[in-house]
Amino acid sequence: TALSNATWTNARAGYLDNINGHTAQTGDNYARLGAPAGASIAADIAENQSDLNTILGDTNELQTDWTDGGRLDLLIDAIK
């Protein structure tokens, strides 16, 4: 079974007491969860905002290119 290497004595209901061959998690393993990728959360937000602005700029450019008479519209009309 999947839990064949686990020991459960029911000392604490719902908790495993030991898992043989398991490496205990120590140090910074859990400290990084939710920690900012950059210098701070504010720096991460600023970076994301910059990326979002770039994506919006590209999307807006495509919107105008697809309009009737726009660059992509004229290219497709030439193919037809």
Q: Is the pLDDT of residue 26 over 80?
A: no
16: closest CA among 37, 28, 2?
2
The model's pLDDT over 29-70, given as tens digits with 9 standing for 90+, comes to 666 666 777 788 888 888 888 889 999 999 998 888 888 888
Return d(Cα 14, Cα 38) in angstroms, integer: 38
- HSE toward the beta carbon, residue 24, CA cutoff 13 A: 4
